[in-house]
Amino acid sequence: MTDQDILARLWVREDGALDAITARYGNYLRSIAGNILGSSEDAEECLNDALFKAWNAIPPMRPENLRTYLGRIIRNLAINRLQASRAEKRGGEGVALLRELDDCIPGGVRPEAALEEKELASALNLFLSTLPEQKRSLFLRRYWFGDSMAQIAQRTGKSQAAAAMALSRLRRELKDFLKERGYER
């Protein structure tokens, strides 16, 4: 079943549309949530929540790319759940992602430099646009999809050490990039 078929079924509120999504994208969505949360039970709950959100949003939404649209929904849900679970010291790869991304935040106290998340997102997109595709994809596999180093190594055919080194360099580049634009911790 194609994305267009699934969207058509959602638009006419047809029973089984969510089953079709699960069949087509269930594993993909579970892996995003699972990578961030480190728990298959939590990932499954996120999947159910994501399906519910998609059901409520479509229509009127008609996403051009259903896969990434659903991916964004479940990633948001997983991050929200991660925030809640951090206090309980839980969370899978997400905790490692947060620790690593902490490297990208320039030090110093400049409360006036605090920017809205939307502006930060624009800055991140600008930063990503400066990277060659391979580096950009590496960064996103780690920090968007939450892939572990082992998964990244398998995917790229590189050693884990090489992937870690490249990511370390990218974090440093991002830190410098954000610092130049006045972002502070």
Partner 1 sequence: MNSMNLLCALNAVEEQYLVQAERRPSPRRRVRVLWIAAAACLALLAGCVAVGVAAGWRLTSVEEDGEEKLRLSVETDAYPLGEEAQRELEARLSGEESWELPILRPEELEELLGIHLLTLPEASFESWGFSAFRDGRGGICVGGAWWQQPDQADPWVANITMVLDTEGGAIDLLELEAKAERFAVRESRYIEALGTDVEMYFLSSDVSVDPLSSDHLPETMRHNYVTCVFLFDQTAYLVNFSLFFGEEITAEEAFQTAASLLETMR
Does the footprint of partner 1 cover residue 160 (CB under 8 A)? no
Does the footprint of partner 1 cover residue 136 (CB under 8 A)? yes
Does the footprint of partner 1 cover residue 89 (CB under 8 A)? no
Does the footprint of partner 1 cover residue 161 (CB under 8 A)? yes
Q: Which is nearer to partner 1, 9 or 175 (CB)?
A: 175
Stretch that binds partner 1, among 3-11, 14-22, 52-60, 141-149 (CB under 8 A): 141-149
Interface pick for partner 1 out of 34, 38, 71, 91 (rule CB under 8 A): 71
Which of 93, 7, 87 minimizes the C-alpha distance to 43?
A: 93
What residues make contact with partner 1 under the rule CB under 8 A? 64-65, 67-68, 71-72, 75-76, 79, 83, 94, 97-102, 104-105, 114-115, 117-118, 120-121, 124-125, 128-129, 132-138, 140-141, 143-145, 155-159, 161-163, 165-166, 169, 183-185
